[in-house]
Amino acid sequence: YTRESHTKCAVLIPQGEIMLSSKLLTLVLVVQPGRVLLGMKKRGFGAGKWNGFGGKVQPGESIEEAARRELEEESGLTVDTLEKTGNIKFEFVGETQLLDVHIFRADTFNGEPTESEEMRPQWFDRDKIPFSQMWADDILWFPLMFQKKKFLGYFKFQGHDVILSHTLEEVQEL
């Protein structure tokens, strides 16, 4: 290669080809007959949106341990059983880090939902979920989660509100 052609090749590589590193995250949805517990995110990533409870997996911690810890920190609830229901990877245009989100469902819990520094929990009837104030992908996979189906997904976002493309499939095993 001449240096000039090598430079041109480098310029022609589309941004999508850049390797994305992955950040491991958890999300827990507490579900009761006819309703779901969501939290209003008060600060940080996703502030101003209703969401499930979760966060980063710490070194030395399993994904499920992280899910339990984050649920307790953010809502005051503990759970005996967590059912893994989904795994969605999120790409944000211009960001080099892929968010690898492991989604769990809890049908029983201990304690009372309590506001934390990060989240304000509130029960919503299934037909009154505030999807317009949530991440745009939620409306697409919540029905699978409510039906106790397992799913894999990939969502590519422009900013925090626009889905450019996505895949979502029901699977037998996670």
Whole-number pLDDT of residue 45: 87
pLDDT at residue number 9: 36
d(CA 146, CA 31): 8
Q: Coil, strand, or helix at residue 18?
A: coil
Cα 135 from Cα 165, distance rounded (Å) = 14
Residues whose CB is less than 8 angstroms from the CB of residue 93 and which lie 6 or more positions away in sequence, other chains included: 156, 157, 158, 159, 164
Cβ neighbours of 134 (radius 10 Å): 18
Cα–Cα distance between 163 and 136 in angstroms, integer?
A: 7
Task: Check pLDDT > 60 for residue 6.
Answer: no
Domains of the chain plus CATH, in order, are 20-171 (3.90.79.10)
| Confidence class for position 15, pLDDT limits 50, 70, 90 | low
* Per-residue pLDDT tens over the stretch 71-81: 999 999 999 99
Structural contact between residues 163 and 136, judged by C-beta atoms closer than 8 angstroms:
yes
Identify whether the C-beta of residue 113 lies closer than 8 Å to the C-beta of residue 135: no
Whether 164 shows a pLDDT value over 80: the answer reads: yes
pLDDT cut 70: percent of the chain above it? 89
Question: Is the model's pLDDT at 5 over the cut of 70?
Answer: no
* Amino acid identity at 72: E
The Cβ of residue 113 has, within 10 Å, a number of other Cβ atoms equal to: 20
pLDDT score at 110: 98
Query: In 3D, which of 142, 40, 131 has the Cα closest to residue 86?
Result: 142
Q: What Å distances lie between residue 174 and 118, 140, 150, 155, 165, CA to CA?
A: 29, 18, 7, 18, 22
pLDDT at position 2: 38
